[in-house]
Amino acid sequence: MGKKVYLQTFGCQMNVYDSERLKGVLASENLSITANPADADVIVLNTCSVREKAERRALGRLSEFHKYKQKNPEVMLVVAGCMAQRMGTDLVEKMPYLDLVLGPDQIFQLPAYIQNHRDHCLVAVCASREDFDCERIWEQRIVPERKTPFTSFVAISRGCDNFCSYCVVPYVRGPERHRPIDQIISEVQLLAQSGCKEVTLIGQNVNSYRFESKDFADLLQMVNDQTDIQWIRFMTSHPKDLSDKLIDKIAALPKVCEHIHLPLQSGSDLVLEKMNRGYTSGDYLGLVERIKKTIDCVSLSTDIIVGFPSETEADFEKTLEVMRKVEFDSAFMFRYSIREGTKAASFVDDVPEKEKLRRLYTVIKLQKDISGTKNRELVGKTFQILVDERSKRDENKWKGKTRTNKTVIVEGNNNLLGEIVTVKIDEADSFTLFGSQTRKPEKVKTA
């Protein structure tokens, strides 16, 4: 019988996507997945490096998992992903009991390493930016193992060239490489044929996608026209690369959902410049105006960082001001975390931790109020939702998302999994809409 692998994933949607495909690779090599680490022959952590907290959590889990190896030295302990790439041999010095350290571009070689397990630790990461090469990753015909068959991520690029001064991603995921368009189309079509209803095209900055003469707007058009997928989402959109052509396409293409994740990071031009974001708050607000004018009922979400080096109270107020003006539907909010090797790590981290926390709670509170108000305005309206989960609290309730990416809980005695149903919103809070099924769809873009 093949070995059993326990896989825990930290971090962003790209790690989730890699882990889903890794499970597919393991299955094709007669290796099975176990949900119980105590039962595993191989324990793999697919790690994240974006903030210190994510790394600390992974290191904590590793020392917990060490006890399984102490009980049975045959157990193989593997650190994969961004933290593996960032720390490399330093990880082995810290944790000499590790068996394998595997960068994000080496992750699919895991079965070969399991088969040739040695008694010393191997570190397989990219040594320089020139080393990052994902042709082999793209080429593999992998059937991913996903949490739900009805939705899926599809990577359209890997890495990033933007070098926002606070961000470790360009160092751990390498330069931006774009996936050939025909591979993206065939992956989406395969998913559609297997019953998947919705794909999210993912990349660190989807707006800068280019393949031969095609850009991201062309890619959206092709996925819309050449596949049987029903809904198309995408993330993340860097504001500096969101063209008018792309806004027009999002508005016009029936399968493309009306939601844009558009990280603002800060509302202060001084801070934005130090972050190397490539836009001002005025540019951002102008972009939002064009989006709202062109895309009917669009929803916008964002990322905010508070407590960036040198951020004054006045800078912070400007972030609150932009948040109030845009009225984001939702936001991911973080306090700045120093990442070694980034440009911002050389800036003085002069906002005290207590103040960073105060600013964080302030933006969270503001966003909660805005989301609550916006969601309550939807009471009485009808929307289509794609149901992808049974509610955990009540087995006669189902969980789905609107095209605008809002979570809706709906009652239903019959199995609604995988169905696109029309719901009327009865109640709402800052995070969730509650609705009932109706036969009367309001004007929707899908044919």
Cβ atoms 102, 43 nearer than 8 A? no
φ, ψ (nearest 5 deg) of residue 155: -75, 135
Site for ligand SAM in 15-74 (CB under 6 A): 50-51
Cβ atoms 51, 83 nearer than 8 A? no
Site for ligand SAM in 229-248 (CB under 6 A): 236, 238
Report how far residue 287's alpha carbon sits from residue 436's, in angstroms, rounded to the nearest whole number: 35
80 binds ligand SAM, rule: CB under 6 A = no
13 binds ligand SF4, rule: CB under 6 A = no
Cβ atoms 241, 208 nearer than 8 A? yes
Cβ atoms 347, 310 nearer than 8 A? yes
**Residue 359 binds which of ligand SAM, ligand SF4, none (CB < 5-8 A, kind-dependent):** none
Report how far residue 48's alpha carbon sits from residue 86's, in angstroms, rounded to the nearest whole number: 10
170 binds ligand SF4, rule: CB under 6 A = yes
Site for ligand SF4 in 216-275 (CB under 6 A): 238
**Residue 12 binds which of ligand SF4, ligand SAM, none (CB < 5-8 A, kind-dependent):** ligand SAM
Report how far residue 280's alpha carbon sits from residue 274's, in angstroms, rounded to the nearest whole number: 11
Burial of 207 (0-12, 13-18, 19+ CB in 10 A): buried
In terms of Cα–Cα distance, which of 259, 131, 143, 288 is closest to 201?
A: 259
167 binds ligand SAM, rule: CB under 6 A = yes
Q: 160, 291, 363, 425: which one contacts ligand SF4 (CB under 6 A)?
A: 160
207 binds ligand SF4, rule: CB under 6 A = no
Question: Cis bond leading into 34, ω under 30°?
Answer: no
**Taking the complex as a whole, how short is the minimal distance between the CB of residue 156 and ligand SAM, in angstroms?**
13
279 binds ligand SAM, rule: CB under 6 A = no
332 binds ligand SF4, rule: CB under 6 A = no
**Residue 264 binds which of ligand SF4, ligand SAM, none (CB < 5-8 A, kind-dependent):** none
Query: 294: which 2 tokens?
Result: 């062109």
307 binds ligand SF4, rule: CB under 6 A = no
Cβ atoms 161, 175 nearer than 8 A? yes
Q: 32, 109, 162, 430: which one contacts ligand SF4 (CB under 6 A)?
A: 162
**Residue 191 binds which of ligand SF4, ligand SAM, none (CB < 5-8 A, kind-dependent):** none
Using the rule CB under 6 A, give the single segment among 150-158, 165-173, 243-251, 406-414 that binds ligand SF4.
Answer: 165-173
How big is the CA angle at 282 (ends 372 and 250), to the nearest 5 degrees?
65
Residue closer to ligand SAM, measured from CB, 339 or 399 = 339
Q: 5, 7, 12, 121: which one contacts ligand SAM (CB under 6 A)?
A: 12
Q: 21, 23, 339, 399: which one contacts ligand SAM (CB under 6 A)?
A: 339
Query: Residues 178-217: x/- map of binding to ligand SAM (CB under 6 A)?
Result: --------------------------xx------------
**Residue 259 binds which of ligand SF4, ligand SAM, none (CB < 5-8 A, kind-dependent):** none
Using the rule CB under 6 A, give the single segment among 22-30, 37-45, 329-337, 373-381 that binds ligand SAM.
Answer: 329-337
User: Mapping DSSP to helix (H, G, I), strand (E, B) and coil, where does residue 230 land?
Assistant: coil
Residue closer to ligand SF4, measured from CB, 46 or 204 = 204
337 binds ligand SAM, rule: CB under 6 A = yes
204 binds ligand SF4, rule: CB under 6 A = yes
**Taking the complex as a whole, how short is the minimal distance between the CB of residue 113 and ligand SF4, in angstroms?**
28
In terms of Cα–Cα distance, which of 257, 227, 263, 267 is closest to 405?
A: 257
> What angle separates helix 181-193 from helix 216-226, to the nearest 10 degrees?
30
Cβ atoms 129, 174 nearer than 8 A? yes
Give the contacts of 102 (CB within 8 A, at least 6 positions apart): 78, 79, 80, 81, 84, 109, 110, 113, 124, 125
Q: Where are the beta strands (DSSP E) in 271-338?
A: 299-306, 330-335
User: In residues, how long is the chain?
Assistant: 447
Cβ atoms 81, 47 nearer than 8 A? yes
**Residue 170 binds which of ligand SF4, ligand SAM, none (CB < 5-8 A, kind-dependent):** ligand SF4
**Taking the complex as a whole, how short is the minimal distance between the CB of residue 433 and ligand SF4, in angstroms?**
29
Report how far residue 223's alpha carbon sits from residue 221's, in angstroms, rounded to the nearest whole number: 6
Using the rule CB under 6 A, give the single segment among 32-40, 75-83, 156-164, 192-200 that binds ligand SF4.
Answer: 156-164
Binding site for ligand SAM (CB under 6 A): 12, 50-51, 166-167, 169, 204-205, 236, 238, 263, 265, 303, 305, 334, 336-337, 339
Binding site for ligand SF4 (CB under 6 A): 160, 162-164, 167, 169-170, 204-205, 238
